[in-house]
Structure formats: C-alpha cells, structure tokens
Amino acid sequence: MFVTFNGKKFPVAEGRTVLEAARDNGLFIPSLCYHPKTGPAGKCRACVVEIEGMRGLQTSCTIPAKDGMAVTTNSPKVLAAQRLVVDLMLSSGQHDCLSCEQNGSCELQNAAYFLGIERPSFRVDSEPDFDESSEFIYRDHEKCIQCGRCVAGCNNTVVNEVLDFGWRGHNTKVICDDDLPMGTSSCVQCGECVQLCPTGSIIDKRSRGQARSWEVEKVETVCPYCGVGCRIALHVDRKTNRIVRATGVEDAPTNQGMLCVKGRFAFDFVASTERLTTPLIRENGNFREASWEEAYSLISSKLGEIKTKHGADSIGGFCSAKCTNEENYLFQKFMRAVIGTNNVDHCARL
C-alpha cells in the first residue's frame, strides 16, 4: 500500500500508524509521548498533521495509515501548531539544555531544533522539585513534560505499577505509589522509566556529570548476569575508556530494551581496582600470582589426586547462569566424560 506525504508517494506496511509510516520512510514528525513499546498516546499533540478528507489537525501517532491516504506534515498550519505545543512545553519547566544531562540526546530538544525554536516565548516561574532519594535514579520534575511514557512503561511494559500521575491542574506530576520518594517506594529500580523518558527528567543518577552524549561510544554486548541473554548498550567515555551508563537495546528480541537493576546499573565491576586479572594460588596461607598454565596444571593434578583417592563421585561441579548455554554444556560434558561423575548442578535450578 502507498501513502502520500507532502505530495510524494511512499510504500507503507500494513498496520502502521501515520507517524510510524513517516519515520519508516525517513520523514521526521516531532513526537514526544509516543514510543514503539508503549504504543499510541495522543497526549502531547506535537505530532499533528493534516490528512486529506479529515477535519482539523490529527495526531499522527494514533491514526492508522491507509492506502491512498494523503498527509501533509509541513504546511504553515501544521508547523504553527507543532511549534506552539513544543514552545509551551519548553516554557512550563526548567529545561536548561546547556547543563542538562540529556543535552544532545533529548527528544524535546530535537523537536525544538527541527521547528526553529531558539528560546521559549513564555516563562513560568517555578521552584526546583527533584527527587534523589533513589539509589540509581535521579528525578527532576521541572524537566518533566508529562508525556506519560514512564507511567505506561512501568504499568504496562514491566508491570511494576509504581508510577502514575498525581495531583491536578498545574500541580500534576508523576508520583511513586501514593506520592512517596522513589527511594522509599515499591520501585524495584529496573530503570525502565529512565529508558523511556524523552527529556532529562528521569536519568541514571550515577552517570550525572560523567560524560556528554557526544563524548561516549555505544558498544552493544550481552548482559553477563543471567542466562536470559539481554542485549545492552554500554556507553563508554572515549576519553577515559570507562563505562558511564548502560541502556537496553530496543530492538533486541530477548529483552526489547528492558533490563533488571543489575543489568542496567551494576557495571562498576568492569573498572574495579579489586577485580582479579590473573590467577592466584594459595601457598602457606597467602595468595601469589600465577600464570594460566600453572593454574590449569594445579587444578588438573588436584582433581586427579582426589579422583584416584576417593573416586569420581567425590567430585561435584556447579555451573553458572552467567555463562552461555554452550559453556554450561561443555562444563557438564567435562564433568561426565572426563571426571566421570553426574554430580553437576546449576545455580538457576532453584
């Protein structure tokens, strides 16, 4: 099927919204409340377009694309409406882009740049309102645009049901439970809200001030903490070669951007000064460094002595969920075929 955008025909897959169809074909329409994982929202009104045969402006994130549909995304009327919406969002909070942690990767900033908004037209004075009670997450309510993505992610995607909108009118804000500080709420610190927030309102607490978005390189890898195989993107500071934050890979079939508290925040061990980098052998109650060859030789001789003296079934092995399935298979094969015992267990069995 084909949809016409601004007078030009584009192929569109079945089941796509107008916004998705535009993005599939490289056309930018500002959008702040929509995320592929949380679905159509129609709250922010930044994605409005003109559609032939429909009265008024339509939210492109909620309208299904149809064959032969004619859409205008760049008319003066559309751009004026989009500009007003984004302008009001910029005016209603403290969006200090120069010092904001999300500078360079903020969707509100991208929308303002696309629409040519250099500074807010209005100014609404407000008091600082932030929450740093959480171990891993920093919340700044003055940067919140109330798009609802964090609420939808918490309630519908990971189903922790901690976040929601509280209060009314100008005082409306995202709250935890019955307006508790995040650190004392039922939040499990999975960080899904951090992943979904389009601005700097909810961010990784420990990454603050570590590196700007253009100073890091994203390196995709697999989370080492269990056997699920979640794909993560490590944000590595090019200057120091240190990991400053981790995010889930949205198109990963295993986790679709979701991570647990360990996968998202527990990466300090990589650069820990206490991390072992060479084998250690205990002698006379003390450890000394050894080569891998010496360590393997010692393990082999000790296992051989135990097997000879007490039999193969006196030896047992424990596999780890941090290893791959292939590594665990090789380990149990080693225990059964080389050692000669079926005494093999796995930490994930319980």
pLDDT tens across 184-208, in order? 999 999 999 999 999 999 999 999 9
Span(s) in the chain for CATH 2.20.25.90 = 215-272
Say if CB 147 and CB 41 are below 8 A apart.
yes
**CB-side neighbour CA atoms (13 Å) of 253:** 0
Which residues fall within 8 angstroms of residue 282, CB to CB, at 6 or more apart? none
* CATH architecture for the domain at 126-209: 2-Layer Sandwich (3.30)
- The C-alpha angle 95, 97, 98, rounded to 5 degrees, equals 140
Span(s) in the chain for CATH 3.10.20.740 = 2-91
Nearest to 120 by CA among 138, 137, 145: 145
Which residues fall within 8 angstroms of residue 168, CB to CB, at 6 or more apart? none
**What pLDDT does residue 233 have?**
97
**What pLDDT does residue 167 have?**
94
pLDDT tens digits for range 57-82: 999 999 999 999 999 999 999 999 99
CATH code of the domain occupying 215-272: 2.20.25.90
Span(s) in the chain for CATH 3.30.70.20 = 126-209
Helix (H, G, I), strand (E, B) or coil at 317: strand
Whole-number Å distance between alpha carbons of 153 and 193: 7
pTM greater than 0.75: yes
CATH code of the domain occupying 2-91: 3.10.20.740
Nearest to 195 by CA among 112, 264, 126: 264
Kindly provide the residue ranges of all beta strands, DSSP E only, lying in 31-129, ordered along the sequence: 48-51, 57-59, 70-72
